[in-house]
Amino acid sequence: MEISVKGLSKKYKGNKLGLNKFDLELKNGILGLIGPNGAGKSTLMRILATISRPSEGQVSLNGIDIVKFRDTVRKVLGYLPQDFGVYPNLTAIEFLEYVAAIKGFTGKSIRIRIEALLEELNLFSVRNRPIGTYSGGMKQRIGIAQVLIGDPKLLILDEPTVGLDPEERVRFRNMLTELSGDRIVILSSHIVSDIETIANDIAIVYQGRVLEHQAPDALLKTVEKQVYETTLTIDEFNDFRTKYAVSNSMRKNGGWLVRFVLNSGDTLPDIQVQPSKGTLEDAYLRVISSAKNGMKNEN
């Protein structure tokens, strides 16, 4: 499977850009999309899922234009939007059979598939309860189940771990890892650890553009010897965070233990600091902070 995105733009009312000359090339595996709210992640996913049309540019799946041949793409697609709705009066079995019928799957084999999914997602014991009685996390797992019906080769998942507890998130990540060998999985999440654990590639998105598209190890190398920790008083901390990209802070002994990342052009502060091993969250912060600083300098 291959996806090619070239010069993709999406304009909304008032000439607001959701995507701006967006380029991306993907093959089998898991792509983690990370970026702040409004960066364009959901806009990209809706276009790839054939829900929305681009204003400019081209998107192809295995060489097929997804705008011109939407039905062809939908046959191999599983899509979970950020705001997933269910029919509260249907049971899990009834709802998933309904979704399967819409996708063109019926018969005994699809019933077996549905029961297997419910078992894997820890919902089998409540399969005959109305979905309206489910917790938020259980409804999210139903959404994940409906995506996987029909064994799709392109999975697009927008914030799929919202509402899942830590054990459920681990189970879901393991499932995606097993599925990703012969298909493309595009995963958007604000939980960077979910991305870091399973993604083969990571795209950092900001203001409708891709700032970085690399493997996790390559991104981590960008923050080697760039991450430090220091202890500050409250007054020092208030001034410090206006000058440096702070990735974490916590109160300690009446002051603050501060973790920060050096951006390009930054120099170490004239205080005692301790080097620290960089994380994907540090790398993400460095990329976004550098982009924001670049925009400030342009203005």
Res 271: pLDDT = 94
Residue 218 pLDDT level (bands cut at 50, 70, 90): very high
Q: What is the pLDDT of residues 183-216, one digit of tens each?
A: 999 999 887 878 888 899 999 999 999 999 999 9
Res 298: pLDDT = 55
Mean pLDDT of 103-126: 90
Mean pLDDT of 37-49: 94
Q: What is the pLDDT of residues 243-267, one digit of tens each?
A: 999 999 999 877 899 999 999 889 9
Q: At what angle do helices 166-179 and 136-148 cross, to 10 degrees?
A: 10
- Tell whether the model's pLDDT for residue 297 goes beyond 70: no
Residue 82 pLDDT level (bands cut at 50, 70, 90): confident
- Tell whether the model's pLDDT for residue 299 goes beyond 80: no
Mean pLDDT of 268-290: 94
Pairing mode, if any, of strands 255-261 and 245-252?
Answer: antiparallel
Q: What average pLDDT is seen over the chain?
A: 91
Question: Which DSSP string corresponds to the chain?
Answer: -EEEEEEEEEEEGGGEEEEEEEEEEEESEEEEEE--TTSSHHHHHHHHTTSS--SEEEEEETTEETTTTHHHHHTTEEEE-SS----TTSBHHHHHHHHHHHTT--SHHHHHHHHHHHHHTT-GGGTTSBGGGS-HHHHHHHHHHHHHTT--SEEEEESTTTT--HHHHHHHHHHHHHHGGGSEEEEE-S-HHHHHHH-SEEEEEETTEEEEEE-HHHHHHTTTT-EEEEEE-HHHHHHHTTTSEEEEEEEETTEEEEEEEPPTT----SS--EE----HHHHHHHHHHHHHHHHHHH-
Mean pLDDT of 166-195: 86
**Least confident window among 140-149, 166-175, 276-285:** 166-175
Res 257: pLDDT = 95
- Tell whether the model's pLDDT for residue 295 goes beyond 80: no
**Least confident window among 2-11, 136-145, 159-168, 209-218:** 159-168
Residue 166 pLDDT level (bands cut at 50, 70, 90): confident
